Amino acid sequence: MTSVPLSESVAAFVSATSSVLAALSGRPASSFLSDAANEAANVVGGVVAADGRTTDGELDAYLDVIGPLLSPPLAVATATARELDLFKGKTQALTTPSVMFDLLCRADLRHSTRHAHQYYEHTLRLAHVAAAIDMVPSATELDAIDQFRTALLRHLDSVGLPRPGQPAATATGSPGPSPPIASADSGAPAAAAAAPEPARPLVELLAQLDELVGLDHVKREVRRLTSLLQVQQVRRERDLPVIETSHHLVFTGNPGTGKTTVARLLAEIYHAVGVVSQGQLVETDRGKLVAGFVGQTALKTQTALESALGGMLLIDEAYALARGGENDFGLEAIDTLVKFMEDHRDDLAIVAAGYTDEMQTLIDTNPGLKSRFTRTIHFPDYTDDELARIFLLLGERNRYHLSDDALARVRHYIVAEPRTRGFGNARFVRNLFETAIAHQAMRLAPLSDLTDEQLVTLTAADIAPVDA
């Protein structure tokens, strides 16, 4: 039964690819079936061979589905396939785009088509289905899929084509629109009251993740988790057993390192792969969960959790829940969280965010938290260059550009800012940008007959310390 989704995915890829090649060449599609089958064989073989331990299930599925499509057909027993070392060197095929993919990219460039995008979607589906043959994909297989995806995207970049999920007019690095964040302030489950919106395409969400400045390790971890969820989704579609994994995470790092932005995207990714039913993000903290009187904390916490049902609850500075000692109502909030997480594990994800050491202390306060928050993603501080890039992106988003001397002053203040524990990272840069806008307004106010160029240009005189 595990070969059924593989058979369907291989058939879809071979049919689509041979049809495209036929249209480009003027030859019949049947003349490209063998080429397309070889391409599928490389992808599937590369994934199942990635961890160096091919199971009988993986070999059988490969021989049953792909073997008959090859030229000449591969018809051998499983034991013989092992003796032949069938997948030796196959994973290397995932590190470099194939000649066929390059051909499709060049054709797209000439004819403004998107055949390479179709290839991308079909082959990634193939890769995830290959990883789903066994009940639990290995971390190495998931890494191989991510490496394959990265190789394809970089090749698109190199030939000047937009990435899948990225509008043709959007330059790489320019952030797309961000969905609104639901608030737990009012106590009313406003997000749950509205009709659920359709999930945004996963390819679009991952494209937006890729566009974030820096955060390479964070993005890699989110992509790996996304691949795992896609593999599990493939198995569920075929009523195959799945080992459930916790969807709750700990985000550690200093303020302004992108934790809320990534949580917002991850909530939508969970929606896109069917983990949650709506995909909204609700932000909260100790002040919105903990009350000052007996019995009120559980009600406040319950209300915040209910507003996040169908999506994700982000608890900022979550470690504060465990700071008051044994008689503090924060422990009541933790107990309520643990029970709610268990009762609603099929339609809720929680991200607990805060400083690294304090978050470990929080997780250790309750065995229920430790068993549910099994995955931690650390958000490092941005580098000076990344912070300067964020400033430039803020300018692009708001239709401002910097003179060379203005950019030099931005870099000066970024470098001079102490990297203490409370360093604001992107928040600091946003404040620096807003200060520059205010100074530019004061500089231009006395002038008349302003040109568009003056209105959109930030000069060195506009760049000032945040507290000035």
Sorted by where each starts, the structural domains of the chain and their CATH numbers stand as: 3-159 (no CATH), 182-378 (3.40.50.300), 384-462 (1.10.8.60)
Would you state the pLDDT for residue 170?
44
More confidently predicted of 85 and 58? 58
Distance CA 94, CA 366 (A): 43
Neighbours of 397 (CB within 10 A): 12
Give the range with max mean pLDDT: 159-173, 254-268, 335-349. 254-268
Dihedrals phi, psi of 391, to nearest 5 degrees: -60, -45
Would you state the pLDDT for residue 326?
59
C-alpha distances in angstroms, 53 versus 50, 140, 232?
Answer: 8, 11, 20
Would you state the pLDDT for residue 180?
37
Give the range with max mean pLDDT: 5-9, 156-160, 418-422. 156-160
Q: Which amino acid appears at position 359 of this protein?
A: M
Q: What percent of the chain has pLDDT over 90?
A: 63
Would you state the pLDDT for residue 174?
39
Would you state the pLDDT for residue 422?
76
Q: Residue 162 gets which letter from DSSP?
A: P
**Structure tokens given for 44:** 């599937």
Would you state the pLDDT for residue 408?
96
The residue behind tokens 């009350």 is 291
Would you state the pLDDT for residue 116?
95
∠ Cα 233 236 238 (to 5°): 120
Q: Are 119 and 101 in contact (CB under 8 A)?
A: yes
Least confident of 174-188, 190-204, 318-332, 402-416: 174-188
Would you state the pLDDT for residue 193?
42
| Residue 49 CB partners (closer than 8 Å, separation 6+) | 87, 88, 90, 91
Q: Which amino acid appears at position 316 of this protein?
A: D
In this prediction, residue 468 has a pLDDT band, given cuts at 50, 70 and 90, of low
Would you state the pLDDT for residue 23?
92
Residue 181 confidence (pLDDT) above 60:
no
Q: Residue 282's beta-bridge partner residues?
A: 182, 313
pLDDT tens-digit profile of 301-333? 999 999 999 999 999 999 888 876 555 688 888
Least confident of 103-117, 189-203, 337-351, 424-438: 189-203
